[in-house]
Amino acid sequence: MQITGSQIIANKLLKSETNSFYAKNPTNGQQLPTEFFEATIAEIDQAVKMAEEAFVAYRKKSDQERADFLDRIGEEIMNLGDTLLERCHQETGLPMGRLQGERGRTVNQLKLFAELLRDGTWVDARIDTAIPDRQPIPKPDIRQMQIAMGPVGVFGASNFPLAFSVAGGDTASALAAGCTIVVKGHPAHPGTSELVGRAIAKAVEATGMPAGTFSLVQGQSVEVGMGIVQHPLIKAIGFTGSFRGGKAIFDAANQRDEPIPVYAEMGSINPVFVLPEALQQQRDKIAEGWVGSLTLGVGQFCTNPGVLITQESDESVQFLERAKQSLSAVTTDAMLTDRISEAYQKGAGQMEQTDNVATVAKSQSSEAATSAEGFIFSTSVKNFLAQPDLSEEVFGPSSLHISAQFKAEVLEVAKNLEGHLTATLHATENDLVEYADLIAILERKVGRLLINGFPTGVEVCHSMVHGGPYPATTDSRSTSVGTLAIKRFTRPISYQNFPQNGLPDALKNENPLRIFRLVNGKLTQEQIS
């Protein structure tokens, strides 16, 4: 498939040759072929209006029809074959093995949402039947379910060019909910975005979905993204990226005449607490795992373990020495873009120059154009709490070790944390008893708690929460990974005293979909007699 540099609007390739840009290979700094163009305001307006027009029909499609559509998207992505992987490798520098795995994850999360739709229970049907002779006033018949909100704007992420991009989790969950979408491709991988976008467009056509169900607009400027956010027909936004970008989108969405929800996942330092007995028993294993986690993917994960806390002891000294040995043997590879590499080096450089912060270890770096060294820094609890900048994310392969003198300082660190995506405890059963108060604190700080592992790696499943309190996300009640993500793009509606032939199938007495429903307070698949 030939990459054209076009916008994809309602299944048509359009190109207004205005301001142009090119992708760049981050490993050698060379410009890649194909000229791309900034989407114009007129093109964005057309895409959103077509999404609104398509939504009228798409939201009425059955769960089975939408499930078949999601499955077909996965098939069309796989049909791109090595063309997709090769272009993605050129644009990101990510190894082919990583990209093969990410492609599988992308397709599998589409399949997961298809399975959710075929089950049908996701609509959360609730029925309270009438009691006409209730005193002092009759009780009406009231029935509730979730319905799609409307056209959704989705922003592709830089660090997951497949799984969090054009056909990523936000796209899968929004389409599953019955929403049409306009995607803003990430400018770091526009060729990858176009290939995946055209795969979705083929699936739209093959399954008979309305043409405006999906559109892809591209561009480097802020104006392209804001053109989607500020369009009055857009009803919600999905975003994965930096705090600065997510907060700007959130603020703009709330300043509209009609404010809309923004589900922005904006980063995290993902604290790791190594408790005393676990440190004694698993010192070297934890140290090696920490280094492996903080350097995985050159540290370009929102779940990168940015800080690690231990209590002072002989074991903690030996732990840091082992981590130093491990990191010194690592060679870090290319980062995704010049901007990410420059921002990381600036952040790591500032950390090196910060008072009372020691540089414990450095990795080796490759000769890639965007290569950057990995770091382990160390400081005291007192210094960490006194310098708020130390708690800010440095997006890349570095982590800050915090040394606590005693348990009370460990708890103080936890109490002073902002919201994060994850927190990890390395602990024995005795540690968990002794530090039960730490867990209670962390439950209020994060969306996912881990025991004896590392946060890099987010399983796509029904029970996953990839979210957390602000500033990790703009809405701690949701997740961007897992099937609960569908609820971000729905809203509840009640039907009162409707005749049976006027109700959606999910709420009819005979329960033609055979789904579980909450009927008069009891969960059942039975018909209502």
DSSP secondary structure letters along 191-226 = HHHHHHHHHHHHHHHHTT--GGGEEEE--SSHHHHH
Question: Is residue 74 predicted with pLDDT exceeding 90?
Answer: yes
Using the 3D structure, point to which of 451, 471, 505 is the last residue of a domain.
Answer: 451
CATH, residue 256: 3.40.605.10
∠ Cα 442 447 450 (to 5°):
65
pTM metric for this prediction: 0.96
Residue-averaged pLDDT of the chain? 97
Q: Please state at what angle helix 314-328 crosses helix 276-295, rounded to 10 degrees.
A: 20
Average pLDDT over residues 490-518: 98
Q: Parallel, antiparallel, or unpaired for β 152-155 and 236-240?
A: parallel
Residue 188 lies in a domain: yes
**Of 369, 309, 379, residue with least CA distance to 345:** 369
Residues catalogued as catalytic: 265, 302
- How sure is the predictor about 267, in pLDDT bands with cuts at 50, 70 and 90? confident
Q: Is residue 500 part of a domain?
A: no
Spatial distance between the Cα atoms of 383 and 381, rounded to a whole number of angstroms: 5
Per-residue model confidence (pLDDT) at position 442: 98
**H or E segment to which residue 125 belongs:** none
Q: Does 445 map to a domain?
A: yes
pLDDT above 90: residue 91: yes
CATH code at position 422: 3.40.309.10
- Please give the residue range of the domain that contains residue 12: 8-128+138-266+480-487
> Tell me, what's the pLDDT at 1?
80
Look at phi and psi of residue 20 and say left if phi exceeds 0, alpha if psi is from -120 to 50, else beta: beta
Of 290, 273, 279, 254, nearest to 445 by C-alpha is 273
Determine, yes or no, domain membership for 470.
no
Dist. CA 164–CA 175, nearest whole Å: 14
Asked if 333 contacts 366 with a C-beta cutoff of 8 angstroms, the reply is: yes
Calculate Rg over the CA atoms of the chain.
Answer: 25
Cα–Cα distances in angstroms (integers) from residue 115 to residues 51, 109, 437, in the given order: 25, 10, 39
Instruction: Supply the DSSP string of 236-271, one letter for each residue.
Output: EEEEES-HHHHHHHHHHHHTSSS---EEEE------
Please choose, from the candidates 231, 232, 258, 229, the residue with its C-alpha nearest in 3D space to the C-alpha of residue 246.
Answer: 229
Do 31 and 57 belong to one domain? yes
Could you tell me the two tokens for 309?
């806390």
Q: Are strands 36-37 and 20-21 parallel, antiparallel or unpaired?
A: antiparallel
* Mean pLDDT, residues 147-166 taken together: 97
Provide the token pair at 313: 């002891």
Whether 63 maps to a domain, the answer reads yes
Residues 232 and 282 reside in one and the same domain: no
Which pLDDT value is given to residue 68?
Answer: 98
pLDDT at 150: 98
Model confidence band, residue 18 (pLDDT cutoffs 50, 70, 90)? confident
Residue 15: pLDDT over 90: no
Q: Is 316 within the bounds of a domain?
A: yes
d(CA 109, CA 460): 7
**Is residue 468 included in any domain, yes or no?**
no
Percent of the chain with pLDDT over 70: 100
* Residue in the structure block whose two tokens are 């000769």: 367
Q: How far is 297 from 255, CA to CA, in rounded Å?
A: 37
pLDDT, tens digit (0-9, with 9 covering 90-100), for 320-370: 999 999 999 999 999 999 999 999 999 999 999 999 999 999 999 888 999
> Do 197 and 310 belong together in one domain?
no
What's the domain count of the chain? 2
- Amino acid code (one letter) for 297: G
CA dist., res. 25 & res. 15, Å (int): 24
Residue 366 belongs to some domain of the structure? yes
CA angle (327, 332, 335) in 5-degree steps: 140
Q: What is the rounded CA–CA span in Å between residue 481 and residue 484?
A: 8
Both 175 and 278 in one domain: the answer is no
In degrees and rounded to multiples of 5, residue 56 shows phi and psi of -55, -40
pLDDT value of residue 398: 97
Q: How far is CA 137 from the centre of its chain?
A: 48
From 451, 467, 499, the end of a domain falls on 451
Instruction: Work out whether the CA dihedral 3, 157, 103, 63 comes out positive or negative.
Output: negative
Q: What is the pLDDT of residue 476?
A: 96
My answer on whether 288 and 427 are in the same domain is: yes
Residue 168 has pLDDT above 90, yes or no: yes
